[in-house]
Structures are given as structure tokens and as C-alpha cells.
Amino acid sequence: MSLKKKRIGVLALGQLPEHALDIISFHIKNHLDVMPRTLPALDNPEYAYNEKRFQYDAGIIIEALEAMRFSDVEKVIGVMSIDLFIPIFTHVYGEARQGGNCAVVSLFRLKENSDGSASPAVLIYKRAAKVALHELGHLFNLLHCENEKCLMHFSGCVKELDQSSPTLCEYCAIFLQDKLRHR
Amino acid sequence: MKHSAFGSKENGQKNKKKDKEGKKVIGIDQPFEYDEVVSITGPEYVKNLCRSDITVLPYEELKKNAPGFYLSADRCIWMKAGIINFRLCDGAHDCHHCPFDQAMKIAMGEPSPAAKEEQREGWAGRMKRTYEILETPCIHFKRGHVTSPEVCAANYACRHCDVHRMLQAQKQRRGVPRPTITNVSGFQVADGYYYHFGHAWARIEHDGWVRIGIDDFACKIFGRASSIHLPVIGDFLAQGEIGWVVERNGQKAAMQSPLSGTVCDLNNRTTAHPDVVQKKPYESGWLLLLEPTNLKLDLERLYFGRESLQWIENENHHLLRLLGTEYERMAATGGTAIDDIFERCPSLDWNRLAGAFLNTAALIK
């Protein structure tokens, strides 16, 4: 079964910059050769807001998306501008359930460089696309890769994210094809 | 009989080879015409010419027989340096024992050997003058570095003293170079270190001792310790048995020793400032030095390299499972693990964490 038969959906949660969703969709099509569907936008996930941390819990948001049971799509990427976290992390750029159906991506922390300076819009969208592709890899059960240039390499900061490539290394690419073949 | 190359008739006959033109040559490996060389250097030079072509003729004799050569090596180095006008060396350039050289150095302002000796023994001389000769205290004892010996038995020749050498070696061991760090899902893993499943690390030092500490994963889970109870020097630790105890506000967590061996040194800084363990777990936050007794076999039971990275990844997944079902099988991108997971996640019980990751719950009575 090839990736083309997979249906991938992207949706906005809350307000997003103009064209953000289109650019992410374009990158998904460019690298995975499948055009995602743009799903109807949802409101800001206030149910996931943590007052102590002033951030939104990514785990709760993913659970909520999984409960929504989107028809006609198998994998869903939720994109938002709010700050995400999970309890053991300071913050996250994206989160996905390994081998699951839903993932979330946040633009909040991608707007700044490592030195604190503001990033241009082009770079922000490029980073968001990489994170979305990375989370999509987790949804297809790919694990973190040791290869620093691979899309599936863990990026702890924007500097590492910028150094990573939007493409898979040969081993992860083979692994992805193998996963798809056995579905 | 003409002189042969090696001063004997037999050798001369053996070595007086004839070239194609019938001329005599010095030797089969020295195809130079004998008469021609002798006319320049004299017979004595050729006589003493060895197989390596290095002459062993005493220099004075050589000089006499080789008037045509200007041997500049006889000039004194002070003459060569242009300090004096003329002086020929008569000591085979053994400047160290040359009285002229010593006199020149003094004249140039360098202290005499006696003065140097006096400088070297300055502090020792002061020690001897301050204390009675029979009561010379050890300087390390006076500084409080050791409790014994109290008296110096080496006449302050510290470089020959075992205690001094031991302290110097300890001083060198306290510096730990910064290792290369790999970020595994927000947790730091030092490259080249061995890891025990109880989250202690071991680093082989150059002299065969092993440095031991706590890895970043355990430091972040349990947060900043209020105290660390280390073993004492001389204690024997067995791999897998309790090596030390981390305490935080009355709650204790024992940790397993990654290797078997005798404790040789302790990082006392961690007992005085336990926060250094969390700040730099792979550098200045080390806990103890061990002299291993079963290194090869013990290392086989530890994680290393890629294996250690995968293990930390699995531990991360285990930790997320403990947080709740909403975080099960979660894979994060970006950020780092928070410094104090135990404090920030009230649902995580101390004993549960110790049992799950340190594997010592059963060892604590």
C-alpha cells in the first residue's frame, strides 16, 4: 500500500497566520507525494490550558482529536499558534502518538531563533513544515533517528531543527515503506 | 708495508681492494682511492675509519693530521655567540662542567649553582629554620590535607614522598573534561560513558580507575538532592548493590553501583553542594572513583554507545506511561526535559520512581 492511498488531513486550531496551513500542506505533498485535505478549523483548545504553566497540554489536545473520529482521513495534523507542553518537557514544537492517528504542531516557539532574535516568516513556515512531517513520521510509527540530517532526528531547539532535513534518511525511508507494505 | 685501513696486515690486505683500474681503494664499502684520501687526511684518519664512516680518532690527533680542514667546532660557544673575541674549547663542549661557562653565566647575571640550590631549598630551609630539625612537620599535614603523617620523613624532598605523589595524583583526577553530549528526547547522554540500568554512569580513567556518577535522566526525575550519602574510602562496592543514597527532604533513594571495586576517592564537593550533581552530572558532579576488581565482566552488563541511547529512549517512554494514558506512546519534538520532574508531576510518587528507574526499592529496608 503506498502513501498515496493514505488520507492525511490538516486543520487549524484557533487563529493561524495566513497561508500557514497551505504552506504546510504543500510541503507534505512535496516530500510525501500526497496532498493533504484541509479540514474545517476548530476553536482554540481552551480545555487543554494549564494555569500553572500558562501553556496548553499537548497530550490532552491529542486525546480530544482522537475522540473526534474524522471521517475520510486516517492521519490528522492539528496546527496552532499557542504554546504547547507535556508535563516532563519545558515546551514542545510538536507532539504525536507513536503509531497513532493524531498529531499537533505549534508555531509559537518557532518564531524565535536560538539567540532570541525574531525569525522571518519563510523560516517559521519551513520549521513548521519539518515538525509536521516529523510528527507524521511518528504517526506512521517511525522512531527518532540518530542521523542528524534525517527528518526523524530529535530536535531540541530551533538550531537543530534548522540543521535537520525535511527528507528521511535511507534507513527511515525503507522503514516507512516497510510499515506501509504491512498495513 | 703500507698502512692498511684497519691497522693490520690481514685487515689491510682484506680491505685493500682493487678497483677496475687496479688502484687501491679503502674498502669494498668505501670505494675511495686510498692514496688520494691519505694525501688529504693523513694515514691515521684512514686507519681509524670505521665501517660506518664515522671516525673515532681522538679529535686532537685528527686535527693534527688534517691541516687542510677548518674545524669550526673547536670554538667556544661564547665565541660563536660573539660575546668574546676568541676562545677555543678544550673541554669537548662539556659546558655543564666548564668553569669558564659558569663564570660567564655569573657575569651575565645568572645566579650561581650554589645560589640556585639555596633558592630551591628556600621554603624547605625556612621550614627547617622555623622548626627544630627533629620536628619537621609534613606540609600537607600543616595544610590540613591529610591527618597523617605528621612529620616529614623525606627532608622535604616531596617528589620522593608517597603521600605527596598520591595527593598530586588526586588533584589531577578531579578535573573531568566535558564530554560530547547526545540529546535523547530531551535527556542528555554523554558519549563514551557506560550506563547501569540503575542510572549510574561509569567512565574509565586513563590510570585504570573508574569514575562514577548519576546520569542526567535520574537527575531530572528526582530533581535537586538535599544531600548525598556516599560510601567511605576503602569501602568495597559490588555491582548491583547499593553504592550511595540520594536524599531529598527526608525521602531517600538508594542507587546501585555500576561496577565492583574499592572506593579510592570521593567527590566531597557533592556532599557539600549536592546541586552540582544535577547541574553537571557528567563533569564536576561525579561521585566517586573506584578501583575495579572485575572490570571486563562488569562492563558487559552495562549499556554503551547506541545501546545506551535506545535505553534512555525506552526509559522516556516508560516515564510517559507513568504519567497517564493521555501521554502513553507520546513522541515529542522540541524542548528539553524539565529539571525537577518529581516536583512538577505530583502524580509521580517518590518510591514508585525509585522502584521503576533505580530498581532499588527492594533493597531499602
**Does an H or E element contain A31, and which?**
helix A20-32
pLDDT in tens, B257-300: 999 999 988 998 898 899 999 999 999 999 999 999 999 999 99
Residues of A in contact with B186 (CB under 8 A): 88-89, 154, 156
Residues of A in contact with B334 (CB under 8 A): 91-94, 109, 131, 155-157, 161
Residues of B in contact with A93 (CB under 8 A): 333-335
pLDDT in tens, B10-31: 444 444 444 445 566 666 555 6
- Across the interface, whether the CB atoms of A90 and B338 are under 8 A apart is answered yes
Chain A residue closest in CA terms to B309: A146
List the single range of A26-40, A47-61, A126-140, B210-224 with lowest mean pLDDT. Answer: A26-40
**B199 contacts: CB under 8 Å, gap ≥ 6:** B214, B215, B217, B218, B255, B357, B358
Please check whether residue A24 is in contact with residue A135, taking contact to mean a CB–CB distance below 8 angstroms. Answer: no
List the single range of A112-116, B62-66, B92-96, B334-338 with lowest mean pLDDT. Answer: B62-66
Q: Could you give the angle at the alpha carbon of B171 between the alpha carbons of B168 and B175, nearest 5°? A: 145
Residue B15 or B244, more confident: B244
pLDDT in tens, A14-48: 999 888 999 999 998 888 877 789 999 999 999 99
**B108 contacts: CB under 8 Å, gap ≥ 6:** none
Compute, in degrees rounded to 10, the torsion defined by CA atoms B49, B55, B59, B61. 0
Please check whether residue B335 is in contact with residue A156, taking contact to mean a CB–CB distance below 8 angstroms. Answer: yes
Q: Is the pLDDT of residue B63 over 90?
A: no
Q: Kindly state whether A163 is in contact with chain B, defined as any CB-CB distance less than 8 angstroms.
A: no
Q: Kindly state whether A33 is in contact with chain B, defined as any CB-CB distance less than 8 angstroms.
A: no
CA B118 to chain A, closest CA, distance in angstroms equals 58
d(CA B210, CA A155): 32
| pLDDT of B26 | 65
**Residue A152's pLDDT band (boundaries 50, 70, 90)?**
very high
| pLDDT of B128 | 67
Most confident of B36-40, B79-83, B123-127, B300-304: B300-304
d(CA B49, CA B55): 5
- Across the interface, whether the CB atoms of A109 and B336 are under 8 A apart is answered no
Please check whether residue A57 is in contact with residue A48, taking contact to mean a CB–CB distance below 8 angstroms. Answer: yes
pLDDT in tens, A128-148: 999 999 999 999 999 999 888
How much is the average pLDDT of B184-190? 94
Residue B199 or A33, more confident: B199
Whether A135 sits among the annotated catalytic residues: the reply is yes
Nearest to B58 by CA among B40, B68, B47: B47
**B227 contacts: CB under 8 Å, gap ≥ 6:** B247, B271, B274
How much is the average pLDDT of B311-333? 92
Residue B7 or B24, more confident: B24
Residue B78 or B257, more confident: B257
Residue with cell 561521585: B287
